[in-house]
Amino acid sequence: MMEPFEMTVAQSLLALREKEISARELIRSYVKRITEVEPAIRGFISLLPEEMILAQAEKVDKLLASGQPVHPLAGIPFALKDNMCTRTLATTCASRMLKDYIPPYDAHVTEMLDEAGGILLGKANMDEFAMGSSTENSAFHVTRNPWDQNCVPGGSSGGSAALVAAREVAFALGSDTGGSIRQPAALCGVVGLKPTYGLVSRYGLVAFASSLDQIGPLTRTVEDSARVLEAIAGHDPRDSTSAARKRESYSKFIGREVKGFKIGVPREFFEQGIAPGVKDVVLDAIARCAGTLGIEVDDVSMPHSPYALSAYYIVATAEASSNLARYDGVQYGFRAPNSDNLLDLYHETRSQGFGQEVKRRVMLGTYSLSSGYYDAYYLKALKVRTLIQRDFTEAFQEYDFILTPTSPTVAFQIHEKIDDPLTMYLNDVYTTPANLAGVPAISLPCGFSDQKPVGLQVIGRPFDEGRLLQFSHALEAVLDIQGKRPLL
């Protein structure tokens, strides 16, 4: 028989409802799995005590036995990226600055998953303050890619992606500012969805770049992505950018017909330093899907996409420099000891509390906002953002979806890129356009290059997550790589 931890979210829910397994058995299977593989993977920053987790599972079992209607994710174990506030566990952002910080409130997504009956197991490792593409910027430890432990899991939601790939959790949440859900999903061979900007509340998500940040699920399948998304999406007045829309069922789109969908494949996304192996796998995947599904595929141009990365690194760092000004050692978090005066306290706290990459981005952002450079950098980037958004609007007049590679390379070696910031930033070359335009995008595993997973990115129209998941589910069925798992 299949080990319980091998089941997807959808399979687990069914098994629980059919009483083939109890929530306690399901959770125990995950706890055992974590004991076995976590020493090698190190995807977690913190774990809740086993008694607390099992007590939650027992509550679910009682509810199931009572015959009352159960919550949509009742009994399903998950992890949160450690930039989402939890009152029960420190929320560190993988930074010395917040190492012992216990928030006085839960994030909106923490509340929503709790209400849905999900069982939080722990908090996932990440690049410090979500800045990075390899999770090597964590102040605590490196996370390893389950497919090749000498390689990074991607980032910044690398812990979330590795935990899902290693079957240590049934799903995880990540946050995506320039690709931080999709790129690690691609490198770890799982499904990662960045919803439309505003679909999921950012209340209680520690801010990096507020006009770009969005929370989304990392899962093993597209159907699971739909299940988790419908549990966390919806209007929240505590986030002023949260979209005032009615809640929707996304899982009802799974399995619907996709024949006749029109797909654009922008040629600019197969340039800019793509590894030949990745290009071949993605093009082959698109060709196979086109033939099998009866969809129309056209070569298109999105002429401003090669400028997205540059615009992104100005906008994101400018917003970060402003958002991270709050870490001053006064109200919460780390404070440097022995400061003589307040100004000294600010300087010492920030210099000792932030790591190299965070300092680099805060300074870059400060530079582009500083007197004399604002027009040359920040304002220019905002105008380019308009052009990138326009490229998408035009493409979506003709096409239902855009297909591209998620990342120009497969997982790379630990230490390979960490000393060269620009090379690291180039990981985000295909993912940043969707953030700048605010449109939803998902990464699906579509094959292997050099025995490592390759991600296919599907980009959709704003708030069209239902059809995006419907189409992605059809692609997943054709690509059929679910049978392959990392050997752990």
Partner 1 sequence: MKITVKDVEHVAALARLNLSDQEKKIYTGQFNVILEHIDRLNQLDLEGVEPTTYVQHLQNVFRSDREISSEKALLRAIMQASPDREDGLFKVPPVME
Would you call 237 exposed, middle or buried from its count of C-beta atoms within 10 A (0-12, 13-18, 19+)? exposed
Of 260 and 337, which has the nearer Cβ to partner 1?
Answer: 337
Tokens matching residue 410: 């497969």
Tell me how far, at minimum, the Cβ of 225 lies from partner 1, in Å: 22
- DSSP E strand stretches across 13-118: 44-47, 77-81
Among the listed residues 140, 270, 346, 448, the single contact to partner 1 using CB under 8 A:
346
Decide if residue 333 touches partner 1 (CB under 8 A).
yes
Which residues are identified as catalytic?
A: 81, 156, 180
Interface residue with partner 1 among 2, 340, 397, 480 (CB under 8 A) is 340
Interface with partner 1 (CB under 8 A), residue from 14, 40, 52, 379: 379
Take residue 425 and report the two structure tokens written for it.
């930033």
- 364 counts as binding partner 1 under rule CB under 8 A: yes
The C-alpha R_g of the chain, in whole angstroms, comes to: 21
Residue 223 C-alpha from the chain's centroid: 16
Among 39, 69, 104, 276, binds partner 1 (CB under 8 A): 104
Q: H/E element holding 123?
A: strand 119-124
Out of 202, 304, 417, 461, the only residue in the binding site for partner 1 (CB under 8 A) is 304
> Could you tell me which residues come within 8 angstroms of residue 55 by beta carbon, excluding any fewer than 6 positions away?
none
Minimum distance of partner 1 from residue 156's CB (angstroms) = 18
Q: Does 65 bind partner 1 (CB under 8 A)?
A: no
149 binds partner 1 (CB under 8 A): no
Give the relative orientation of helices 108-115 and 222-232 as an angle to the nearest 10 degrees: 110
Please tell me the distance from the alpha carbon of residue 15 to that of residue 95, in angstroms, as a whole number.
39
> How many other β-carbons are positioned within 10 Å of the β-carbon of residue 413?
13
Cβ atoms of 191 and 249 within 8 Å: the answer is no
H or E, element range at 448: strand 441-449
Site stretch for partner 1 (CB under 8 A), options 69-77, 253-261, 290-298, 348-356: 348-356
Q: What tokens does 375 get? A: 């027009």
What one-character DSSP code corresponds to residue 145? B
**Is the distance from CB of 223 to CB of 10 less than 8 angstroms?**
yes
- Of 3-11, 246-254, 339-347, 404-412, which part binds partner 1 (CB under 8 A)? 339-347
Site size toward partner 1 (CB under 8 A) is: 70
> What residues between 74 and 93 interact with partner 1 by CB under 8 A?
87
Give the integer Cα–Cα distance in Å for 289 and 379: 41
Q: Which of residues 428-467 bind partner 1 (CB under 8 A)?
A: 437-438
Q: Which stretch binds partner 1 (CB under 8 A): 51-59, 162-170, 171-179, 350-358?
A: 350-358
Pattern 238-257, binding to partner 1, x per CB under 8 A?
x-xx-x--------------
The span from the CA of 126 to the CA of 175, in Å, is 10
Separation CA 176–CA 160 (nearest Å): 12
**Of 24, 28, 288, 360, the one binding partner 1 by CB under 8 A:** 360
**Single residue of 384, 403, 418, 446 touching partner 1 by CB under 8 A:** 384
Question: Which of residues 197, 250, 269, 396 is near partner 1 by CB under 8 A?
Answer: 197
Alpha helices in 42-157 (DSSP H): 50-66, 108-115
Choose between 28 and 99: whose C-beta lies nearer to partner 1: 99
Question: Rounded to an integer, what distance in angstroms lies between the CA atom of residue 434 and that of residue 464?
Answer: 14
Q: Which of 77, 117, 118, 329 binds partner 1 (CB under 8 A)?
A: 329
CB of 201 to partner 1, least distance (A): 12
CB 454 within 8 A of CB 445: yes
Query: Nearer Cβ to partner 1, position 310 or 449?
Result: 310
| Chain contacts with partner 1 (rule: CB under 8 A) | 87, 101-105, 197-198, 211, 237-238, 240-241, 243, 304, 306-307, 309-311, 313-314, 321, 325, 328-335, 339-348, 350-351, 354, 359-360, 362-364, 366-367, 370, 376-377, 379-387, 389, 421-422, 425, 437-438
